[in-house]
Structure 1
């Protein structure tokens, strides 16, 4: 009988190196994306900005004396990030803020991110702590530029990061993230407005009727990136578990002010591609004669079980 550290007869991995579940979900999950952003009728320019990008870890054997079963020819793991920022201000000052916020966050992830794509509880806490630090740095950058440049204002900032079965979100402002699962729409974020100030942050919150809120209160934002005269904004952070065929929407309030959540759910539950779903959602908002900019990002997750 071989010792625990001996190779198998076929030249494969030692038994103690064989994980119970391999490859991990971060290597087998498939994600398709769509994005659409359009200037509002009352806007001179579109003050929304967005980005979707992929993080990866890669191993590729270039040269070896080992037999095929004793090494790995190629192995890839992926994570994906969607970010939306809705600039607040007039005459383009919001556009500059949303652009700076996303650009700063992307550079922070590039320079200082630890791309943990296999998530356990300890790594999840590290991811959320790092996300909060990044958001504080983004807020500091926008606040500093506001002091130096009157042509820059404030912005919302909502980001989601998915790797395998895990989805994280970080959120400031009144843009939103939604999860559609089994045709049921769940709001992941709470609005940082006077009309929502009493709400609590939960991983998957029960739907509240968008149209039941007082519209004036919905637009008085209590927390933003770049707000001054305080210790900084409240940053909502949470982790949820993804299931196969989940759809995630990240959008600005230009969509949710004009389109009922029931209609949003219908679109996300359709068999349209994520790109077509984004197009449909933005078209619905514009057809409702909304004046605000509208941005919608959709991701569809296929995770083998």
Structure 2
């Protein structure tokens, strides 16, 4: 890929829940061959690998602690399995087959829907279990986001943060139809009631798919609603402005969500798409600056060194003065024949 991706994910149970029904995955999409033994002369390169892209997935299970955890796990595992085993790898590289690629990503979500239905038929205790799922597939510079439920994907570009996905909640439908305002929607108690999710006693599934053209410096953030229940988009944006390291962003957002209540599980995945060439050039320029212009010493260190140098100079002068006096005395004694002058 033409960029370096700094990515990190974290999932926290929060302050109230006893179990964690969220799941997340960050994965390299790559084909790899490792040689166990070969007659080839180039023994120093025993493997061949081609990286096609990066996969990010967040899922938030529902239906009770055990059922919710299993639903989100089944969804994530089956989506990853479908991408690995069923998708044509050439689709990642051939932009002329963009429509086919998007269809395959939708099929991955439908595949997980079927697997959850099979599990509920086999185990009646899991009846009604379901999960949200938001998946982002990056094959530079394209980013595809596939979505069902109310987990979210955000895109941060420079100082702006934009929600890419639309929540599949009843409240959001009312807002879109002009029944209630966004301000009132924030105070609705049943605001997390879903009309669309994977599983959940419904064989029908609506799948949204979005395509973005990434730029160097972009960041994407995937999260379960345990984050945005307590942290506003403005707060998320401010924190991402203060931190560019993916791990720091994830951990600080989790802490903020918990400080503001932490009533649900909190799962966050962040990816920062860094211009590797620009980064390397800056590192090289910084090294040149260090070589040509040594860094200015800290005032305290500089003062200590000056005081030490001044003390050394005084000691040298004192020793030199003492030596001069000794030499003078010796010369006087030579002149007087060793007799003391009165």
Asked if these proteins are the same fold (TM beyond 0.5), I'd say yes
User: Out of 212, 219, 226, which is 2:199 matched to?
Assistant: 226
What is the alpha-carbon distance in structure 1 between the residues aligned to residue 115 and residue 69 of structure 2?
15
Q: Unaligned stretches of 5+ in structure 1?
A: 1-26, 65-72, 201-207
Q: Are 2:221 and 1:246 aligned?
A: no
CA shift digits 1:16-74 (9 cap, x unpaired)? xxxxxxxxxxx3221111111100333221000111000125699x969xxxxxxxx97
Cross-structure match for 1:162 = 138
Cross-structure match for 1:131 = 105
Q: Are 2:59 and 1:85 aligned?
A: yes
**Kindly tell me: are residues 210 and 29 of structure 1, through their superposed partners in 2, closer, same or farther at Cα, counting changes over 3 Å?**
farther
CA shift digits 1:191-211 (9 cap, x unpaired)? 0000112677xxxxxxx9688
The structure with more helix, counted as a fraction of residues: 2
Cross-structure match for 1:112 = 86
Query: What TM-score results when the alignment is normalised by the length of structure 1?
Result: 0.79
What is the alpha-carbon distance in structure 2 between the residues aligned to residue 178 and residue 170 of structure 1?
13
Q: Does the 8 A contact of 2:22 with 2:59 survive in 1?
A: yes
Q: Which moved more, 1:240-249 or 1:132-141?
A: 132-141
How many residue pairs match? The answer is 263
User: Out of 283, 289, 292, which is 2:255 matched to?
Assistant: 283
Query: Comparing both chains, which one has the higher relative contact order based on Cα–Cα distances under 8 Å and sequence gaps of 6 or more?
Result: 1
**Backbone CA RMSD of aligned residues:** 2.7
Q: Does the 8 A contact of 2:79 with 2:109 survive in 1?
A: yes
Q: Does the 8 A contact of 2:23 with 2:72 survive in 1?
A: yes
Q: Does the 8 A contact of 2:138 with 2:144 survive in 1?
A: yes
Q: Does the 8 A contact of 1:87 with 1:95 survive in 2?
A: yes
What is the alpha-carbon distance in structure 1 between the residues aligned to residue 136 and residue 67 of structure 2?
25
Q: Does the 8 A contact of 2:52 with 2:93 survive in 1?
A: no
Cross-structure match for 1:216 = 189
Q: Are 2:22 and 1:48 aligned?
A: yes
Q: Are 2:288 and 1:299 aligned?
A: no
Q: Does the 8 A contact of 2:8 with 2:250 survive in 1?
A: yes
What is the alpha-carbon distance in structure 2 between the residues aligned to residue 75 and residue 106 of structure 1?
19
**Kindly tell me: are residues 283 and 141 of structure 1, through their superposed partners in 2, closer, same or farther at Cα, counting changes over 3 Å?**
same
Q: Does the 8 A contact of 1:118 with 1:164 survive in 2?
A: no
